[in-house]
Structure 1
Amino acid sequence: MQKLDGNIEAFKVCETDGRYAVLWKRKDGNYGPEFVASETWHQIRQSKEKVNWSKLVWFSQGIPRYAFITWLAIRDRLSTGRRTSSWGQPQSCIFCMEPDETRDHIYFACPYTFMVWLKVTGNLFGLEPDPDWDITMTRLRTGSYDRLTFILLRLVFQVSVYLIWRERNERKHNTSYKSVDQLAKVINKTVRNRITSLKYACNPRLRSLMIRWFEAHDTTT
């Protein structure tokens, strides 16, 4: 019998019908003849209680690299001015020059980012978005939305968090600046490209996803 990391029994050798066979341990304590990566992963990882915002980050229609930045933002681990000040690198908000650049300021208390957020959410919330981070998170987690609207809200949230952070870094290191309208168009296009990549028209559960997105941004009604 061997162990993983000194404490997880990975497999054991047993004799069946005069032949030796390797059996791999499952998470329920039993053993099976095949190695299953997910079963082994659940044994070696440190399990913690599921957080109430997990569905805002990890969902099948999301974009992995955008989800990662969103995860960092929710955990307040982005290298904002407040965090870098402890490293001797204080920094004000590059969008509006607010002296204390925090996660909550960037999303979406800053006038620039809030105007972007207003444009890209449309009427998905059912009411006007709030610039307060905690209120936004609460509405995303606890609001009563139909399935398509909930998918779009999470998707536009992830895309906005990622692209606003990228715009912030581009302004910091380069000379390129996007206006509110320009950044909103990039976010809108990214969301539509993601919807298209899901082959929504062929999926009965997603068939009206693009229609719902356009409805949310129809300014003629």
Structure 2
Amino acid sequence: MWSRLIWFQLRVPRFAFITWLAVRDRLSTGHRTAQWGQAQYCLYCGEPDETRDHLFFACPYTFTLWLKVTGNLFGMDPDPDWDTTITRLLTGHYDRLTFILLRLVLQVTVYYIWRERNERLHNHVSKPVEHIARLVDKTVRNRITSTRYYLRPRLQGLMQRWFGAHDT
């Protein structure tokens, strides 16, 4: 059930909410706003049909971000297809720490992709993918630190797993 990806103990409510909307395909993407007569296209790559599936992670910009922030957490190369990504998260066999990190990085990444998209749409300001990747990394590290993981036996090693996923 997809709810396991959204509603878990270490979630951040604003990230979980945006991810919940994305999973339910209820974000106001270009595909949906076209029904209201608004022009639609991907603000990252110019694709004429901005759907949820394109935005997360079929777009070259967002897939590059996804590759950077997941590191080796999946144990295999991530897929740009939204449904495949969600299925892998739900059916994959991950250890506890990896599963926590995968859910957290999914939520943080979806949030920052949506936020950057809206910045581009409303303020005409864009950031390079490396900047967004640093924001995601810092947010995940801050969330891990705020859990006081080192005092909780079930979470010990969480930060080490995060850093280990990004050693290249």
Residue type matched to 2:126 in 1?
Y
- RMSD of aligned residue pairs (Cα, Å): 0.6
Superposed displacement of residue 218, structure 1: 0.5
Q: By how many angstroms is 1:91 displaced? A: 1.1
Runs of 4+ in 1 over 2 A off after TM superposition: none
Q: Secondary structure at the match of 2:121?
A: helix
Q: Which has the higher contact order (CA 8 A, sep 6+)?
A: 2
Question: Is the Cα contact below 8 Å between 1:82 and 1:90 reproduced in 2?
Answer: no
Identity fraction in percent: 70
Structure with bigger gyration radius = 1
TM-score by length of structure 2 reads 0.99
Q: Deviations over 1:131-170 (max 9, x none)?
A: 0001001000000000000000000000000010000000
- Cross-structure match for 1:158: 107
* Residue segments in structure 1 that go unaligned for 5+ positions in a row: 1-51
| CA distance in structure 2 between the aligned counterparts of 1:90 and 1:199, rounded to whole angstroms | 46
Higher strand share: 1
- 1:175 deviates by 3.0
Consecutive unaligned residues of structure 2, counting only runs of 5 or more, are none
The whole-number CA distance in structure 2 between the counterparts of 1:123 and 1:148 is 13
Partner of 2:33: 84
State how far apart, in whole Å, the 1-side matches of 2:122 and 2:39 are: 15
User: Which residue is 2:130 aligned to?
Assistant: 181
Residue 173 of structure 1: how far off its partner (Å) = 0.9
> Where do 1:1-221 residues align within 5 Å?
52-219=1-168
Q: What is the aligned residue count?
A: 168
Q: How far did 1:80 drift?
A: 0.3
Q: Which amino acid aligns with 1:159?
A: V
Contact 1:115-1:180 at 8 Å conserved across structures: yes
TM-score w.r.t. structure 1 length? 0.75
